[in-house]
């Protein structure tokens, strides 16, 4: 029972548990020392002691084997698009009052336009992400980047509320992949010990877009008009859309899957599938011929795999590279719903959903709260309220990713080289502290009309809480079910339905009950959800074992 995590006696190898840290044979329990760590592929440099998980193939076309600069370039381009997508929703917040007057509608009607965007976004992820599971991520990225340019131009020239609303709703179609596909792309490109840092990088870009949109857009709206917020988005989507077209190849890859955790009672490494030969058929589909060895020690047959010729740059630009799943289409499209039967995914949905939804509420109400007495900010000044969350998000993301990876490596070392995904949950302590101060503090400071630094700082702490929380959530879910990354992240991002419901009526609720009661309720819901982390830490391994042994879930998620 390492660190209070209950062990499971029903399975010898529990999904998610990995032999992630091997300095030498002395780090292993006695029954595991018969397996030579030298037979497994390791990291380089200061990570030379870390067994690479997942184990890469020998093919130069395997994204895990690509040079780090290429992986990081892909991450940068997709994360920049995610940042602009993050800004696209809340960027009008500081100017709600003048924009609603210009369009001849009420502030509540304008906030409902954001709610309809969020609802459409929630529906779209259930289409685009399963499509990426079947046909790959590149065609989705390219087509949606083009769509984002078009709808941004549409929003800039819309002169009626109906046209404006249409541009917002259609824009959600292009936004969807950059909310959930980037995490799955990280899973394609990076090893377990690298992922939390990269997830933090992506989340930094996304949250900086969400948090930083206000202080930039406030002055744009005040000096140029709200139309130019869409115009600038169109320019940026165009620039990074070109980056997607030329520098983001397909990252989905079918390789042999080897569990690098020796069986606890035999000292023999379990191998789910061993690749004897692999090639590309005439349709461009990556095909593998498999055999399951009766007894494989160490790296098994990976050294016997045929080496594929390196794909040329021009060939890597193909929009469609084949089909990546043999499962029936209806099954793939309904899998995200089934993911709610996975307790760790349900936990991720609740943590990420409540925290991010509450953050969106800030962007919806700030334009009203700070432009009225006692603060009486201008539109530009109301936008500057976002400087605090912007700075604290950068600090939070800069700390959370590397710190999470460091904690996992240290705990795995103390656990005789065995890594448990629950190690990702340690930072939830920080999440609870920051969120409590942020949500309760914001409501109290606004209600009691303190100096503006009070609500501005607590707003920042709430956003910093999201930075730490998302690193925990996505790192944990990704380590538990890496093969189901797309489905899991679609399920987690069903939080858009929660966001839709709250943003649709929050201004009326705020007007009726006041900020103190509203944010006390939000803070209490947040704390209640965070407390679920305690049983997940204790029973998480048993839960993962139960899911793995559930015949219905196993059959439904299998590509047959």
Report the predicted TM-score, pTM, of the whole model to 2 decimal places.
Answer: 0.77
pLDDT for 311-344, tens place per residue? 999 999 999 988 888 778 888 889 999 999 999 9
Number of domains in the chain: 1
Residues of the chain with pLDDT > 90: what percent? Answer: 45
- Do 305 and 256 form a contact (C-beta atoms < 8 A)? yes
**CA 303 – CA 290 distance, rounded (Å):** 14
Helix then strand then coil, in percent of the chain rounded to 5, is 70, 5, 25
The three-point CA angle 135-141-147 to 5° equals 120
What is the SS3 assignment for 51? strand
Question: Would residue 315 count as lying in a domain?
Answer: no
Q: In terms of Cα–Cα distance, which of 325, 340, 343 is closest to 487? A: 340
- Tokens standing for residue 47: 């990570």
Q: Is 69 exposed, middle or buried (0-12, 13-18, 19+ CB in 10 A)?
A: exposed
DSSP 319-343: S-------S-HHHHHHHHHHGGGSH
DSSP 242-272: HHHHHH-------------SB-TTT--B--S
**CA 1 – CA 49 distance, rounded (Å):** 24
Task: Report, as ranges of residue numbers, the positions in the chain whose pLDDT lies below 50.
Answer: 20, 22-35, 258-305
Residues 6+ apart with CB under 8 A from 487: 129, 130, 133, 335, 336, 338, 339, 557
pLDDT of residue 52: 82
Strand partners, 293: none
pLDDT of residue 207: 79
Q: Which residues of 297-331 are buried (b: 16+ CB within 10 A; e: fewer)?
A: ebbbbbeebeebeebeeeebeeeebbebbebeeeb
- Do 119 and 496 form a contact (C-beta atoms < 8 A)? yes
Question: Would residue 161 count as lying in a domain?
Answer: yes
Peptide bond into 54 cis (omega under 30): yes
pLDDT of residue 273: 35
- Tokens standing for residue 367: 């334009």
Domain assignment of residue 485, given as a range = 63-253+332-557
Using the 8-state DSSP alphabet, how is residue 274 labeled?
E
What is the SS3 assignment for 291? strand
Using the 8-state DSSP alphabet, how is residue 10 labeled?
S
Peptide bond into 374 cis (omega under 30): yes
Question: Would residue 14 count as lying in a domain?
Answer: no
Question: Would residue 96 count as lying in a domain?
Answer: yes
Question: Would residue 4 count as lying in a domain?
Answer: no
pLDDT of residue 339: 93
Question: Would residue 324 count as lying in a domain?
Answer: no
CATH at residue 107: 1.20.1250.20
Question: Would residue 317 count as lying in a domain?
Answer: no
pLDDT of residue 256: 61
CB atoms within 10 A of CB 267: 16
Helices (H) and strands (E) in the chain, counts: 18, 2
Question: Would residue 272 count as lying in a domain?
Answer: no
Q: Is 229 exposed, middle or buried (0-12, 13-18, 19+ CB in 10 A)?
A: buried
């Amino acid at each position: 029972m390492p660190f209070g995590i209950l062990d499971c006696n029903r399975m010898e190898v529990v999904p998610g548990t990995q032999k992630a840290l091997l300095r030498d044979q002395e780090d292993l329990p006695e029954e595991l020392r018969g397996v030579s760590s030298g037979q497994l592929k390791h990291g380089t440099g200061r990570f030379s002691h870390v067994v690479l998980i997942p184990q890469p193939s020998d093919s130069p076309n395997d994204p895990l084997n690509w040079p780090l600069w290429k992986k990081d370039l892909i991450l940068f381009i997709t994360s920049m698009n995610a940042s602009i997508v993050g800004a696209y929703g809340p960027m009008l917040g500081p100017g709600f009052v003048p924009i609603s007057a210009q369009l001849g509608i009420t502030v509540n009607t304008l906030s409902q336009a954001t709610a309809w965007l969020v609802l459409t976004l929630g529906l779209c992820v259930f289409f685009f992400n399963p499509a990426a599971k079947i046909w790959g991520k590149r065609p989705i990225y390219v087509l949606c980047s083009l769509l984002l340019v078009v709808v941004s131009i549409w929003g800039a020239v819309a002169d009626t509320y109906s046209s404006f609303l249409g541009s917002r709703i259609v824009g959600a179609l292009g936004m969807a992949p950059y909310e959930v596909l980037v995490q799955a792309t990280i899973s394609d490109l990076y090893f377990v010990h690298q992922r939390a840092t990269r997830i933090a990088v992506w989340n930094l870009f996304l949250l900086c877009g969400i948090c930083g949109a206000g202080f930039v857009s406030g002055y744009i709206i005040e000096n140029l008009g709200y139309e130019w917020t869409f115009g600038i988005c169109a320019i940026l989507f165009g620039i990074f859309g070109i980056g997607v077209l030329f520098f983001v190849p397909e990252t989905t890859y079918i390789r042999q899957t080897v569990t690098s955790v020796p069986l606890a009672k035999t000292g023999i490494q379990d191998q789910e599938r061993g690749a004897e030969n692999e090639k590309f058929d005439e349709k461009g589909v990556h095909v593998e011929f498999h055999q399951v060895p009766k007894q494989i020690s160490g790296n098994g047959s990976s050294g016997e795999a045929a080496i594929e010729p390196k794909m040329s740059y021009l060939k890597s630009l193909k929009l469609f590279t084949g089909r990546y799943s043999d499962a029936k289409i209806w099954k793939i499209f309904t899998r995200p719903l089934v993911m709610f039967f996975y307790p760790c995914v349900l936990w991720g949905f609740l943590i990420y959903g409540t925290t991010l939804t509450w953050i969106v509420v800030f962007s919806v109400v700030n334009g009203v709260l700070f432009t009225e007495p006692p603060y009486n900010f201008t539109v530009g000044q109301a936008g500057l309220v976002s400087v605090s969350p912007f700075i604290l998000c950068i600090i939070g993301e800069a700390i959370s990713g590397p710190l999470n990876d460091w904690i996992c490596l240290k705990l795995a070392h103390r656990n005789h080289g065995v890594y448990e995904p629950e190690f990702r949950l340690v930072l939830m302590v920080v999440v609870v502290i920051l969120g409590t101060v942020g949500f309760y503090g914001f409501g109290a400071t606004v209600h009691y009309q303190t100096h503006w630094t009070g609500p501005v700082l607590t707003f920042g702490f709430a956003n910093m809480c999201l930075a730490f929380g998302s690193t925990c959530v996505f790192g944990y879910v990704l380590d538990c079910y890496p093969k189901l990354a797309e489905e899991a992240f679609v399920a987690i991002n069903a939080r858009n339905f929660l966001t839709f419901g709250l943003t649709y009526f929050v201004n009326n609720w705020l007007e009726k009950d006041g900020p103190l009661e509203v944010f006390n309720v939000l803070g209490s819901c947040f704390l209640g959800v965070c407390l679920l982390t305690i049983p997940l830490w204790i029973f998480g391994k048993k839960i993962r074992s139960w899911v793995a042994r559930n015949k219905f879930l196993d059959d439904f998620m299998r590509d047959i």
